[in-house]
Structure formats: C-alpha cells, structure tokens
Chains A and B, each alone.
Chain A
C-alpha cells in the first residue's frame, strides 16, 4: 500500500490506485506467453497514437468538398511537422489492422474464444467492426479520387437491400449522391467512433481480467508458480515489443510513407472521371473479394458482412473442448489453410473481377464459409486430440523434452 497520505485519502474514497495496482502490477499472468501476446498492448498504444494524431489533424482539416483535399495538402506543407502527423495517422491505420489481424488469428490458433472467454472474443469482434467503420470513413476525408469513388461504391451497396435500400443510401449520404453532407457526417463520425472503441476496449479489459490471459498451451494455470505478476515481467516484455514495433512503424513512416497507399488518392476527387481500378485499402481486400465473388448484389453484400459476423458465432461453431491447436492434429493444418485462404482472398480483392481471378475468388469465398460452417463443427466430432497436459508446468516440460 502506498504511504502517501494524499494517495491514501483518495484511494479510500475512489479506489483508482488499488485498481491500477491490480490491473497493471499484480495481475497474475501465465508465464509462458509468447510474442503474439504483445499484439494486444501494441494495438492499444496504436489506438492512442491514432487519437492523438487524429485530433491534431482535425485542428487543421476542413470537411468541405471545396477545401478538404487542399486542407490536407496544407497540413502536409504548411503546418509544422504536419507531414509527420499525417503520415503517422495514415500508416497508423494500416499498422493497427496488421496488429489486429495477427491478434485475431492468434485467438483462433490458441482457441482463446472458448469458454469462459466468449464475451471477451465478442467484444473484440465489435472493436474490429468499429475499426473498419472508422477507417472507411477516415479514408473518405482527404477527398481524393479513391476517397470519393470508394465511398460511392461502398455506400451504394446498401441499395441492394430490398424495398428500403435506396432510402437507406439516401439517409446514409445525406443526399442523393456522395457530397458535402456525406463528407461532413463522415468527419463527425470518424471523430466520434474511436472514443467508442476506447469504451469497448475498456470492457474488453474487464472481461480479460476476469479469467486472465489464455496461453500457448490452452491449459488454465493450476498453481501460483505458473503465473507471474504483470509488472515487471510483462511490462518490460511489452516495452521491448513496443520499441521493435515502433522501429518498423518509423521505417515506413519516414522512408516509405505511401507504401500502403493508393497513388490515385493524390488526385483530387472528381465526379466526372471514374478511376480505372477502384480498390479499397488493403485491409478490406478479403471482404471486398467476397463481395465481388458472389454473383448477386444482395448476396455479395450479405456475404461480405456475413464474413465478419460469422466471427461472433465462432465460440459455438467450434465445439472442441481442446483450446490450443498444438493438441489438435486436424485443426492445426486447417488453421493454416484458412490463413492462406484469407490471404488469397486479399490478393483476389486487388485484382479485377474477371477470368481466372473470379474463379479463384469464388473458390476461396466458398472455402471461407466452409471452414466455419462445415469444417469446424465437423472437427469437433471427428477429431481425436493429442493428450493434453494437465498443467502449464507439464506442458513446458514436454516442450523441453521435445527439443
């Protein structure tokens, strides 16, 4: 307990210091987490970076079709270190998604969505959805060609909804087409949503701390010796991960700031000139591929949203009681096939939807849903898991002997 009188006085009435001590210091954590467990804290820090750079950009940005593109160029040229702030924000979005995708795949590999962590997982999927909405609207703000046409293509999807489709599109856009009201509301929401993400992240943490982290063995800690206090062990490990991450991040920001970007977006929006290839940002490509692979428009839209929403059902589609893929001889290779399939979908999303690309895209789309709705439930029944060690200690012994 802290000896400082003021701290004690506050803590008795409002136990924030006790809370912080529990959450960041004592919080018992399995001792065998690998570096994939760094992605969570890194994503949190990236969210902070996005909010800080975003607010700074918002001080100079002007959400008006006449001036939006120009105001971003003013940020790049006239605002002190404006280019740095914008390049951090722009690439931060990509890095955020890299982390979150790794984070999600980690959860899938180690079965972190299984009981008792279903709600933790669901909150994660909510965060993922909100991030996608935020990034989509953010990409519209610089009002380049791809901003404009991307917004047009994606909002137009909603017109596929029977009967009320066109009304919904009109309502979303604030007018008959993408224009000034659209840009204005996208800016308002782009500013707002990240704070909603912060709120959900807090709930995500509450749910996490209820049962603690999962670990590569998938076995719950049984003995105090299998856990270590969060501080200093994981604070130091997270800091190490952070500085490596920032190194890569800084490399891109300073030496290849437009690596993830589409050159077309450096041309001001022009409703009279349609770009030859309209492609979303890379992190939407797998979903974009699913959208275009399904021959009907409504089907495509449902497929695209379904591909995200199916993640909500994952804890109940995979009924296997074994968490970690390490002990699941069939699931493990199929997990990697799923990863590969997702990457193939991303690649297809970047290609024109014709010829061989369309065929591969359809196959990969079918496989995506096949994995969730057929393979996972089936595996729960037919797979014979390897013997699961009784404790983390036994698991680590086993691993040592194997080496």
Chain B
C-alpha cells in the first residue's frame, strides 16, 4: 500500500514548486483560518502605513475611498481623506485634475507607468490591490519581503538602485527598504516597529484583496451545516430504501 503514500507525496509536491526567492516563514493571520475575520484596529493601522509610506509609490486602484467606512472610518474622515488626493476622471485623460470624492478609486501617485518607471530606476511599483492574491503564500510573502532586507552578501554585486532582499525573486529589488522604525506615529499609540508596521499593512492589503472574506466564511459555515444535515437525511433514506435490495 505504499503506492498510496507515494500518491499522497506526489500530490503534496504539486504545491511546493521551487520558487526563486527564499521561502517565506508562515505567520499567524487572524483571517487565514476557516472561521477567520479581520481585526479592524489592525486594518486601520495598516491603512495608515499604506497612506504615509507605500502611497508615495504604489496605488490600490481596486479600493474606493468609501469602502474604508467598512473598516471603521467615519463618513467625514473618508470625505476629507479623498479630498486630499487629486484624481482624474478615468474615461477622459484630458480632463483637469480635481480633488477626490468618496466614490473614487485610490489612485497611483504616478500619472503613467512610464513616469513611475522613470522615478524608480526603471522598475514599476505595482498596484497593491491584489498583491496578496497575486503571489504564492501571499500575506507571508509580503510580510517576509517587508521585514527581509539584509546587508548584501559579499559575493553579490548590486545593480544601481537595487537593495538586497532574499525573498524577492532574484534577490535584488528596486524598492528601497520602505519601513524604518518610527517612520510613522500610530494614531492609537502602538509602537511603530518594522515588524508591527509590516504586519499591519499586510493585513490591510489582504483585506483590500479579499473584501468579501468575512462574508464568505460566514456564509460558508451556514452552507456546510445545511449540506451536513441534508447528507444525513439522504443517508437515512438511502439506508432504509436499499435495505430492501440487499
């Protein structure tokens, strides 16, 4: 029967294809377990990190300002926040820029990919809306990337504008270490260490990537319970009926 073991082994192997970067260490996330939910305080801190650090280079275009109300910001806060951005109507590139409104999407700080590359040594700071879904082991990877900058080993020559980060494919990333201890001051008084900020912004971006997650988990439990009862019922009927055949 070691055939079956071999089978299980091979199936497991499907998922661990060798990636080029160092494998991220799995972290505990409140939203990863089957019944997991988001921690609103964490998301709010994460948004602060995004806004005060990452937003200098990255957009989160899938998110509308208004949706921030779902993680505990008030209507007025959202309005003020949106107004602090300048946006362009997407359909009409000629249109004048105007202050943002709650229904607008959180824009990229650069008006085009070309401009973004010019400002970043030719590299493109991707939109972060789906980053935790678009990388294997998404949240773990993001956390590892943000906390994983290391001094460059002696045998590696860094290209101009690159930093050494073993979790990044190829090890050389054009994003300078974005987080520095106390680079921001949290509104809620939490100590702004690098791991703390990395955790918070990862949780926030996971929410941006999967805003339906809590809904999905909640509905999933109900559906599974229903199907369990249904299966029990059908099993009873099946047993009773097939007794006649056997």
Q: Which residues of A contact B (CB under 8 A)?
A: 31, 73, 76-77, 83-84, 228, 232-233, 236-237, 239-240, 243-244, 246-247, 250-251, 253-255, 257-258, 263-264, 266-267, 276-277, 279, 282, 336, 340, 343-344, 346-347, 350-352
Contacts and interface: CB of A to CB of B under 8 A. Distances in A.
Given A236-B242, A254-B219, A346-B10, 6 more contacts: A77-B62, A77-B211, A77-B212, A243-B230, A254-B224, A263-B136
Contact of B17 (A266, A346, A351): A351
Please classify the interface of chain B as helix (H, G, I), strand (E, B), loop, or mixed, using the class held by over half of its residues: helix
Interface of B: 3, 6-7, 10-11, 13-14, 17-20, 34, 62, 126, 129-130, 133-136, 138, 169, 209, 211-212, 216-217, 219-221, 223-224, 227-228, 230-231, 234-235, 237-238, 241-242, 245
A266 B224 contact: no
Contacts of B133: 258, 263, 266
B212 A76 contact: yes
Contacts of B130: 73, 266-267
Q: Which of B11, B13, B136, B223 has the most CB of A within 10 A?
A: B223
Contact of B223 (A233, A254, A258, A352): A254
B17 A255 contact: no
Given A73-B62, A239-B234, A240-B238, A250 B17 contact: no
Nearest to A262: B136
Contact of A233 (B126, B216, B231, B242): B242
Contacts of B135: 263
Contacts of A237: 238, 242
B235 A247 contact: no
A236 B216 contact: no
A290 to B, nearest CB: 17
B245 A246 contact: no
Q: Which of A84, A255, A258, A347 has the most CB of B within 10 A?
A: A255
A236 B234 contact: yes
A264 B223 contact: no
A255 B62 contact: no
Contact of A232 (B13, B19, B34, B241): B241
B234 A343 contact: no
